[in-house]
A and B are shown apart, each in its own frame.
Chain A
Amino acid sequence: AQKVTQAQTEISVVEKEDVTLDCVYETRDTTYYLFWYKQPPSGELVFLIRRNSFDEQNEISGRYSWNFQKSTSSFNFTITASQVVDSAVYFCALSVVGGFKTIFGAGTRLFVKA
């Protein structure tokens, strides 16, 4: 069975601080995909990144970066120099290739204060 754990329920930071959102996953499959989605206060979920299980390269996109480590089954998300607009709920998700079910973590609510 697959599982995604986001142990941080809520995080509060002050603008310009760096913040890391943790994601730990469980699966016995060797081929899988990991995702991060953002849910701003407006409510819709927005896709941020997809990573397959064979690609452990870290990725950077502007102020966002992702650290994928198979050895610890983690796919952590870091926001550098956070901004108020980063305030949202962030979901980590896992899907197995060939399966139709995407497992979402419970989400981490990030508050960025001005």
Chain B
Amino acid sequence: NAGVTQTPKFRVLKTGQSMTLLCAQDMNHEYMYWYRQDPGMGLRLIHYSVGEGTTAKGEVPDGYNVSRLKKQNFLLGLESAAPSQTSVYFCASSPPGPGAYEQYFGPGTRLTVT
């Protein structure tokens, strides 16, 4: 089992460019999440999904969009990147049961916006 994988691992964008981060999990988990990690701030939830075809906003959704067309994949899009979006992005998945289960994290994507 690969667990949770993320593509790419590193990316540098110029302000205004767009990109999509791909997250895939092979644990058949219903719930998936996108977080960003910034120094001294822990992890903050961007968007999440409770099942195929559903998405919802988290704590810091502005500037991001997501899609969950297949249960195993959760895509995070940046339409027009800004320097404030420089961060490390983590995808996670968990079994259903809001709040009740631990999350399994991917290795992260380090994004730099210049």
Interface residues of A (CB under 8 A from B): 4, 9, 32-33, 35, 37, 42-47, 50, 52, 91, 95-102, 104-107
Contact = CB atoms under 8 A, between A and B. Distances in A.
Nearest to A92: B42
A44 B37 CA distance: 11
A105 B107 contact: no
Contact of B42 (A42, A43, A104): A104
Interface residues of B, number: 26
A101 B100 CA distance: 11
Nearest to A48: B102
Contact of A96 (B48, B58, B99, B103): B99
Contacts of A91: 42-43
Contacts, number: 60
Nearest to A101: B45
A100 B31 contact: yes
Contacts of B74: none
B107 A44 contact: yes
Nearest to A42: B107
B65 to A, nearest CB: 18
A40 B31 CA distance: 24
B41 interface: yes
Contact of A100 (B48, B90, B104, B107): B48
A33 B103 CA distance: 12
